[in-house]
Structure 1
């Protein structure tokens, strides 16, 4: 996981943001924001499965976690 992203929502400062194009197809403009990794990961996985027919395995989850960014407060 990106070291700037806390798994504990109480420790977070600002929202987390993920852009599909950072991991998936470069022409996909889908993105999601939330307060914690636990909040946004199910949405990211659902998007990958439904829109890109992706199999979400541990390697994919790791790539996603490394691409989650904290929005400026």
Structure 2
């Protein structure tokens, strides 16, 4: 019984092997695409953070310059 079951499982895996290969290739491409999208998202967040820090620094500089004129 074990030999028949093992043979059936092995034969089925052998028949579907080309499909498994295509699934692995697809998943590898999907993973690369997902990593690229997440990388772009992180790059966008980093650019936004730097822009906001620049705006805050510019505001602080304007505030300091304004106080210096009044004194």
TM-score normalized with structure 1 length: 0.25
Select the structure that is richer in helix: 2
Structure ranking higher in strand proportion: 1
